[in-house]
A and B are shown apart, each in its own frame.
Chain A
């Protein structure tokens, strides 16, 4: 922890910027970084909100999430998928939050919370079909990889434009309140997204109308090449809650138990009519922004290594070891099982036709196609019949 802070501070001094984010300023005291798992893996039982069985289960989810991310990056390098964006190093933040919500709660993701979709029942092979954009793709090949939707799990459709989901989550939670349902919405976004208008709008609407929503910020330090301190002059993200008149908390986003406990508190507040919570999960994007990025161009290897040492999976493993629930060989076994699960999912997904049929191009523009879409489909079919190059191979 110390090391990371030193590096962060050094980075900030170099940039000649005010010392924010890494020190012991007023706001950091006001919004202390909450942790549950100590460095040695021990935890105060009173602070632990997961049963042993749940804890092991979520550990396995984190391992699966990591395996999926690593394997999909490999597939991208092999040219089998075009693009991938994952959550390596942010597993505790993603899984701790989703696990802290209830089944009926709606999820409004950004583009890194694939583990949330899987956790809510999206089959892994269906997820891989989305990455391939093939005939098995639930999104009909309409979206680029990693922009899935899974309605059965109340996981809404991922958009690329930053922060658009935040006011949408507020609206869904508002609707649930209007209907009298026990539903609290969860939305995820990066710290970069807190600069966007829609973050402000969402927080403000939620505050004014006391909407039951959990606004989970994955503060992973970087928005592509832009460091946190060029995103906001606030010492913390959590303190932004003050200005909106809502509750804010700051947790160690690499500590699954801390994230889970904080999410439970936030959900309870929402369900009790106390309004939204801005939950800042302090974590780190240890890989590039996506497979299109090369982070060596803008940040130091030391910084990354310091954070790798704080890996959320290692952290949770230490806790489970301390509890004597999981030994090293169990982790190996879980890992092997995750690998196998991913291998089978890829196999299943790759068995589909590489392209969805041509009519899917026009499906879902409107509930019923207009004459334009009908005519254009006919035009495209005729063009393909006349010159097969019109339909390029995939």
Chain B
């Protein structure tokens, strides 16, 4: 199963289980979404539960909020994460704050699914990784699966979560990442990182599509005799701080990888946390391997993306420090 199929499977199973789950967004109904993540759902659940909306992201999220208040479980899709910005007011000012500002009288749990990330020759409006904006806004959870199993399990958990969740899907890996996924219910709890390789010399922290690059870099590093530990964060908010601390205390070194630009990227927060909590264990500065401080480019996207060679270089530098 690939990630698209896993997302589709999770949506279908949750819609069968819970009649309050609805899917809405641009092109999600009859067409099944431009990436076909909701393919076949309108046929099974009808037009009242799988809704083709007009072209307005603020409308998609604003109406989803109203549905959530009234007791439905909306799963709005934003066609590309790059097009989430027209909905920022609804997400940051409204969705994130509803529970807080009503003193807990109201809540608007929903799962905002959106494909993110580059490497598909999509230029800056089809490639960005805007996760940091949302992690920075209290009241939102932010989840990024790297493989089909986690896509299914995390999406299921997100739909059942009492809080609004931003669910970023690594579109470059949509069909490239394949793996065994059990039939029927799969739940991966939100807030738990996964150690995908145990090692002793350096902790490499990544998520989503960049986990795959980091994995390659770590394998190449192993061939050079470097014993790296690799963490797939899976959930950025809540963050599995215990997993990070435990690993960095053991290795004394950390390399954080993300596609988004470096300045104020989530890597900055992780580096600060490690520095605050593991300072006495550190053998080298915490290093970031990230996209550059530019808009996402078109032609030079592979130069921009923190691909395995750049990650490996950082790993070697940190280990040699």
Contact = CB atoms under 8 A, between A and B. Distances in A.
Contact of B52 (A133, A137, A230, A387): A230
A384 to B, nearest CB: 7
Interface stretch (B103-111, B204-212, B289-297): B289-297
A334 interface: no
Contacts of A380: 292, 303
Interface in B107-129: 121-126
Contact of B307 (A142, A195, A231, A390): A390
A161 B121 contact: no
B303 A358 contact: yes
24 contacts: A82-B121, A134-B299, A141-B300, A161-B86, A161-B125, A192-B55, A193-B55, A195-B56, A196-B56, A198-B86, A225-B30, A226-B26, A226-B27, A231-B55, A232-B54, A358-B303, A360-B300, A362-B292, A372-B293, A376-B262, A383-B310, A386-B313, A387-B310, A391-B302
Given A223-B55, A356-B299, A389 B30 contact: no
A390 B126 CA distance: 22
A389 to B, nearest CB: 5
Interface string A356-394: 101011100100001011001000100110110111101
A226 B303 contact: no
B167 interface: no
A103 interface: no
B31 interface: yes
A226 B302 CA distance: 33
Interface in A117-157: 133-134, 137, 139, 141-144, 147
Nearest to B308: A389
Contacts of B292: 361-362, 373, 376, 380
Contacts of A197: 56, 58, 86
Contact of B27 (A225, A373, A387): A225
A88 to B, nearest CB: 20
Contacts, number: 136
Which secondary structure dominates chain B's binding surface?
loop
B295 to A, nearest CB: 7
A325 interface: no
B83 interface: yes
A141 B307 contact: no
B298 interface: yes
Interface residues on A, range: 35 or more
B294 A365 contact: yes
Interface in B44-59: 52, 54-56, 58-59
B263 interface: yes
A83 interface: yes
Closest 8 pairs (CB-CB, A-B):
A144-B123, A141-B299, A160-B125, A225-B31, A195-B54, A133-B299, A392-B302, A387-B309
Given A143-B123, A298-B31, A376-B292, 12 more contacts: A143-B298, A160-B125, A195-B54, A297-B31, A298-B30, A355-B300, A358-B303, A365-B293, A373-B292, A386-B313, A390-B302, A394-B299
A224 interface: yes
A162 interface: yes
Contacts of B294: 361-362, 365, 373
A292 B171 CA distance: 14
Contacts of A225: 27, 30-31, 34, 52
B31 A195 contact: no
A159 interface: yes
A392 B313 CA distance: 16
Nearest to A226: B52
A360 B300 CA distance: 9
Interface of B: 26-27, 30-32, 34, 52, 54-56, 58-59, 82-83, 85-86, 121-126, 262-263, 292-295, 297-300, 302-304, 307-310, 312-313
A196 B58 CA distance: 8
Interface of A: 82-83, 133-134, 137, 139, 141-144, 147, 159-162, 192-193, 195-198, 223-226, 230-232, 292-293, 297-298, 355-356, 358, 360-362, 365, 370, 372-373, 376, 380, 383-384, 386-387, 389-392, 394
Nearest to B291: A376
Given A160-B125, A224-B31, A142 B54 contact: no
B300 A358 contact: yes
A224 B27 contact: yes
Q: Determine which residue in A142, A192, A360, A370 has the highest number of CB atoms from chain B within 10 A of its CB, and name it.
A: A142
A171 B297 CA distance: 28
A160 B126 contact: yes
B297 A142 contact: yes
A280 B126 CA distance: 29
B126 to A, nearest CB: 7
A373 B293 contact: yes
Contacts of A193: 55
Contacts of B59: 195
A365 B312 CA distance: 27
B33 to A, nearest CB: 9
Nearest to A390: B309
A144 B300 contact: no
B219 to A, nearest CB: 14
Nearest to B125: A160
Contacts of B125: 144, 159-161
Contacts of A230: 52, 54
A389 B309 contact: yes
B310 A365 contact: no
Contact of A144 (B26, B83, B298, B303): B298
A292 B122 CA distance: 11
Given A361-B292, A391-B302, A144 B126 contact: yes
A35 B262 CA distance: 55
